[in-house]
Structure 1
Amino acid sequence: MAQGRLDHGPPVAVIDIGSNSVRLVVYEGLTRSPSPIFNEKVLAGLGRQVQSTGLLAPDAVAEALAALRRFRALCDNLQVGKVYGIATAACRDAENGPPFIAEAERICRVKIDVLSGKREAELAALGVVSGIHDPDGITGDLGGGSLELIDVRGHKIRRGVTLPLGGLALKDAAGQSLKRAEKIVERALADVPFLKSGKARNFYAVGGAWRALAGLHMAQTGYPLHVMHGYTLRAREALEFCELVQRVDPETLSNIEVISAARRPLLGYAAVVLSRLIRKIRPDNIVLSALGVREGLLYSLLSESEKKKDALIAAARNLNLLRSRSPQHGEELVRWTDRFMDSSGIDETAEERRLRHAACLVADVSWRTHPDYRGEQSLNLIAHADFVSLDHAGRAYLALAVYFRHVGITHDDELSPRLRELASTRMLDRARILGATMRVAYMVSASMPGVLPKTPLRVERGRLVLTLSGSNRALNGERVMNRMRTLARLIGREAVVVEE
């Protein structure tokens, strides 16, 4: 096993035969926070003529089967332990879907589950459950052939619906007319009774076409964090952007080059569907989810105890194990800062506590970097890490806290001002406090396990007190005291080191 890999058993793979793309994703293992080790797609366009002809196009079938031969060979070379095959709207709706699936099964050497619309909606919802912390809203999964809609509250999902409004299907049914597409979407959504329950909640957007729209919006606004999962727009802003995309030729939009040429013809149809959903549901926010049916399938296979784990903490523990000098020290830092925060009187919500725990676990991941660049390296690594169950404000907090841990709280003039803007004033303050707290911890412990449990930091009688006893008394020094004073100033206390 490579040292940069975690031992979660053999890799698992999902071959996803969609109406627009055929994709292979190989994951490191079946865990609460699975990391992809290989990801490839081919935009075969299987569903582009199903609405008008009832058939999968012959050239699309040939391209898809060629991709599947490559995918099977890749799975063999990657020594995948288990391959799961799924297919969606185009294959279940097309008259020649069954013979295509039979040939695909022969090539892939696995059973391919042609998902019903209900099952596809359920898996899309489970993908959101697996990747969004405590979700609350309507999930919409827009594929090439269909749109699945389903209500999600925490870990509870309701019965969903499937509609023939995928980008390729809609373009085909509307005769390539956006005006006719608007009417088709309006009629289809009129029969979905639960959409009004999404008012003032979130709408979770799943699917490549909506990710392309969001990527274009990111580029046009100069958004500082190029991470799709968790990207959030106010509903009004998203509606205005969708209507702009509908009005103009996509090729004339600024930054259109960030969208692949194959995706551009469907942007207008994706915008039509999203704009009509926003008007119908009236959500507060549109939240992009990079996790959907594939991740929902893997999540459904986990044990109940594994499902209950926090995916962010699980991912932070994995990174701690892979890159820290002492993974145990990261766990001890969590408990050490717990005691400090509990005694400090600083108000901390449950969400802020889980973010602080994650920051402690990833605080040492850049120790191999040159000392002058550890702050910058940590900032970039954590802000762009493959984390889920984390919004962009939370990413900014994690990255800034560990940045301050390395460079100190007074050296933020080099930070991107827009990255700072992702975190609220409160969270920026908390990032500074945690960064300063970790600077005390690392100066005392030198990142080694077993030290922090014996050197508690607490607020006692209005003073910030670090207790060093026994042989740990020799750890005291001017650098420790300087860092204590910095933290004490942030929380309005006097710094004291007690030797026992």
Structure 2
Amino acid sequence: MDSIPRESLEDARESAPVKQPIAIVDIGSNSVRLVAYEGLSRAPRQIFNEKSLCALGNGVATTGKLPKAGIDKALAALRRFKTMSEILQVGELHVLATAAARDASNGAEFVEAASHAIGAPISLLSGAREAELSAHGVVSGIYRPDGVVGDLGGGSLELIDVKGVQLGKGATLPLGGLTLMDASNNSPRAAVKIVREALANSRIVERVAGRTFYAVGGTWRALAKLHMRQRHYPLTVMHGYVIPSEDASDFAGIVERVNTETLISIEAVNAQRRPLLPYGAMVLDEIIRRAMPKEIMISTAGVREGLIYEMLDQAQRRKDPLIVAASEANLQFSRAPRHAEDLVDWTDRFMKSTHLEETIEEKRLRYAACLLADVNWRAHPDYRGEESLNLVENTALTAIDHPGRAFLALTMSYRYLGLDDDEVSPQIRALASARMLDRARIVAAAVRLAYLVSGAMPDVLPRTPVACLKSKVELTLPADLADLASDRLYSRVKQLARLIGRDAIVTIAG
């Protein structure tokens, strides 16, 4: 994608019909999960999410069969999910089953019983198909991915190369946490040997050298959560969290070596998942040692989001999910949604006049900032900055990394609190580069000026352009709006001008 698709923004109003919920049930080797989404969208929003840790894959590697206890728990969860889907008035229900069901000798019998319990047909995914869906999930949720996707479940590890929207051929390895526990007889030393032998001839792993490894799956998310807590990381959003490879390897080594119950913040991880942490750590550590990726990035988008992405037509797939999500928030919460679209065009013209270099990533972040600029207007004025910061820090935006999320949070803070860094969270500032901090202040200063000129109403900004003209930043008011000129307005123009090394001027057209 060489430029931001304008249809992501321009079709916002037309692409917001009443949606019927769509739900996906994922029957995995460790957990059975129901996720219901608001509707089919390029930026799907969850309205319900529940999982049951059933450990269906427990013992499959040694006995070849799904355990009765796991089957009973899974069927009970599926009956509950059927009822919940009816309560949610789900229009489409898709049910997927993965490694445990496909590998066990009694898998077919279980799938039949499971289909009856959930009241829907079940798609039994091959390893290659599971890898493909995981990759599509990463494509749907990460902007221009380039690396290898690794989806670690309880029964298997799926690997697939991804670059942009292009996928390689997927492969599956028997390296899931439950499988490793069973095959090694709970011996970490034996498990390490199994992992090394399985990855020794993986050409897909070798392709991640110097690129990004996209980690998908609950065990790796749990490891990342512990890593976050130990660093006192300022964000809680897991999607897009990046760990440099050397740091990830060191941390994985610690998790492998010590009793998991002694790890800092272990209470943040479900007790039933904790025994799997050392096995997930050793798989990640071996991948890093063997291929040396540039970094590990956590993706909460996987098989389920990949399935939704596949349901979209090509035009919908080409849309930028960050802009789609920001547009939907603008439509739902802003005073006058068309004003945000005016603001995008108004800042477009201004940025072009400054001759400041702006990358595609910086432009899409500016667009998102404009679309989100007024979503918190109903909050008390004293708390708009704080609530806007929390909104951007924690909301389910997708296709945005953590520095980008910090940029939006900073822009919102500067927009409400003023351009003084002392008022803005130093922890959030630490996530952004010097250039991003500078751009956040410029965009926020422009937004502050725009709201003083327009009152957040549409059709005003196109008539009140602001532009760099040689040594000055000039705001032009038409004659019928000349009375808007004031010391406060001039002060806002001056604030913006100073950030790019210009003087300020307000002129009346004609």
Residue aligned with 1:422, SS = coil
- Confirm or deny: 8 A CA contact 2:240 2:299 kept in the other structure: yes
CA deviations 1:427-482 (Å, max 9, x no partner) are 01110111111000000000001101111111112210111113222221121111
2:68 maps to 1:84:
no
In percent, how many aligned pairs have the same letter? 54
2:468 to 459, 464, 470: 459
| Superposition TM-score, scaled by structure 1 size | 0.98
Q: Which amino acid aligns with 2:483?
A: A
Aligned to 1:439: 448
Q: Which runs of 5+ in 1 are unaligned?
A: 1-5
Aligned to 1:482: 491
CA deviations 1:10-36 (Å, max 9, x no partner) are 100001000000000000000000000
- Confirm or deny: 8 A CA contact 2:24 2:93 kept in the other structure: yes
Structure 2 CA distance for aligned equivalents of residues 53 and 496 of structure 1: 80
- Confirm or deny: 8 A CA contact 2:392 2:409 kept in the other structure: yes
CA deviations 1:233-277 (Å, max 9, x no partner) are 100000000001001000111211111111110000000100001
Q: Which amino acid aligns with 2:280?
A: A
Residue aligned with 2:422, SS = coil
Aligned to 1:256: 266
- Confirm or deny: 8 A CA contact 2:21 2:90 kept in the other structure: yes
- Confirm or deny: 8 A CA contact 1:333 1:452 kept in the other structure: yes
Structure 1 residue 212: deviation in Å? 0.2
With 22-31 and 412-421 compared, the bigger mean Cα shift is at 412-421
2:139 maps to 1:123:
no
Q: Which amino acid aligns with 1:479?
A: R
Structure 1 residue 7: deviation in Å? 3.9
1:418 to 421, 427, 430: 427
With 44-53 and 413-422 compared, the bigger mean Cα shift is at 413-422
Structure 2 CA distance for aligned equivalents of residues 88 and 101 of structure 1: 11
CA deviations 1:333-356 (Å, max 9, x no partner) are 011000000001212111101100
Aligned to 2:278: 268
Q: Which amino acid aligns with 1:447?
A: A
Aligned to 2:224: 214
- Confirm or deny: 8 A CA contact 2:410 2:424 kept in the other structure: no
Aligned to 1:289: 299
- Confirm or deny: 8 A CA contact 1:72 1:108 kept in the other structure: yes
Runs of 4+ in 1 over 6 A off after TM superposition: none
Q: Which amino acid aligns with 2:54?
A: A
Structure 2 CA distance for aligned equivalents of residues 469 and 317 of structure 1: 29
Q: Which amino acid aligns with 2:438?
A: D
Structure 1 CA distance for aligned equivalents of residues 257 and 95 of structure 2: 38
- Confirm or deny: 8 A CA contact 1:44 1:64 kept in the other structure: yes
Residue aligned with 2:261, SS = helix
Aligned to 1:352: 362
Aligned to 1:234: 244
1:99 to 95, 100, 109: 109
Aligned to 1:139: 149
Structure 1 CA distance for aligned equivalents of residues 310 and 479 of structure 2: 51
Structure 2 CA distance for aligned equivalents of residues 414 and 422 of structure 1: 16
2:180 maps to 1:178:
no
Q: Which amino acid aligns with 1:227?
A: V
- Confirm or deny: 8 A CA contact 2:148 2:204 kept in the other structure: no
Residue aligned with 1:39, SS = strand
Taking a change above 3 Å as real, the CA distance of residues 8 and 32 of structure 1, as seen in their structure-2 partners, is farther
- Confirm or deny: 8 A CA contact 1:125 1:296 kept in the other structure: yes
Structure 1 residue 202: deviation in Å? 0.3
Aligned to 2:503: 494
- Confirm or deny: 8 A CA contact 1:8 1:30 kept in the other structure: no
CA deviations 1:382-420 (Å, max 9, x no partner) are 11110110000000001111111111102x324331211
Structure 1 residue 372: deviation in Å? 1.0
Q: Which amino acid aligns with 1:12?
A: I
Structure 2 CA distance for aligned equivalents of residues 204 and 194 of structure 1: 13
Structure 1 CA distance for aligned equivalents of residues 224 and 91 of structure 2: 35
1:224 to 195, 211, 234: 234
Structure 1 residue 155: deviation in Å? 0.3
1:188 to 177, 186, 198: 198
2:399 maps to 1:399:
no
Residue aligned with 1:15, SS = strand
Structure 2 CA distance for aligned equivalents of residues 429 and 154 of structure 1: 29
Matched positions, count: 494
Structure 1 residue 9: deviation in Å? 2.0
Residue aligned with 2:467, SS = strand
Structure 2 CA distance for aligned equivalents of residues 171 and 308 of structure 1: 42
Aligned to 1:27: 37
Residue aligned with 1:80, SS = coil
2:319 maps to 1:309:
yes
2:410 maps to 1:377:
no
Structure 2 CA distance for aligned equivalents of residues 415 and 353 of structure 1: 23
Q: Which runs of 5+ in 2 are unaligned?
A: 1-15
Residue aligned with 2:172, SS = strand
Structure 1 CA distance for aligned equivalents of residues 108 and 101 of structure 2: 7
Structure 1 CA distance for aligned equivalents of residues 282 and 408 of structure 2: 36
Structure 1 CA distance for aligned equivalents of residues 213 and 291 of structure 2: 8
Aligned to 2:438: 429
Structure 1 residue 104: deviation in Å? 1.2
Structure 1 residue 8: deviation in Å? 4.6
